[in-house]
Amino acid sequence: MEQELISKKELLELTGISYGQLYRWKRKKLIPEEWFIRKSTFTGQETFFPKEKILARIEKIKELKDELSLDELAGMFAPDPSAVVLTKEEIAKRHIVSDMVLQWLNDELGDRQDVSFAELLSFYIVDRLLRSGEISLEEGKNIWRMFESHYPKLQGKSCELVVLRKMGVTACLLMEGAGGLYAEEGAKLVARLHVPAFIEELKLNISEG
């Protein structure tokens, strides 16, 4: 279950960016420091990256760099978002989550109308898992409760949500950073989500709304 890596040489060839661009984006914090992974090879020390994450990030930077400054992009990609509060009505109008999850959000928050970014993020992530068909609604509620309880401890840090299932029993956990993941035999990896990527998605969703 260890993530696939791509070497710096392969990355530059595949994306068409230069060495200078890559490290400028790193200095501007568009690419997280922890994605630069130093490993020993038969030719010496080389730099590798989590393949799926770095390719998606570079594609997004290239897509937006003509519209936004590097500082604006850095603000958008920052794992710790600015305080954002939306009303339930705004969330419904922007179709940020499905109708089913919106009703669930209403049930959980009761009469309260304002929803913080962190609260909305937990519903948004579970909504994505439900839409993909990877989990049931009951599993989604368990994931949401775990996320609500433990994400505040990791807020502002890079972390991953991992969902495992074995013999019909689901377990979920939050991992700080992006290290290797190893599970017991027979356990199936249902989902492994990079939380900052969903923060970026949600920020864009809100700003475009």
Tell me the residue type at 71.
D
182: Cβ contacts below 8 Å, ≥ 6 apart: 1, 2
The residue extents of the domains of the chain are 5-77, 85-208
94: Cβ contacts below 8 Å, ≥ 6 apart: 205, 206, 209
User: What is the separation of C-alpha 162 from the centre of its chain, rounded to a whole number of angstroms?
Assistant: 11
**Is the model's pTM score more than 0.75?**
no
Q: For 152-206, how does the pLDDT look when each residue is reduced to its tens digit (9 = 90+)?
A: 888 777 889 999 999 989 999 998 876 777 788 888 989 888 888 888 788 777 7
Q: Which of 146, 149, 152 is nearest to 171 (CA)?
A: 146
Q: For 8-19, how does the pLDDT look when each residue is reduced to its tens digit (9 = 90+)?
A: 999 999 999 999
Options 3.40.605.10, 2.60.120.380, 1.10.1660.10, 1.10.357.10; CATH for 5-77 is: 1.10.1660.10
Q: For 20-31, how does the pLDDT look when each residue is reduced to its tens digit (9 = 90+)?
A: 999 999 998 888
- The Cα 138–Cα 37 span in angstroms is 37
- The Cα 78–Cα 30 span in angstroms is 8
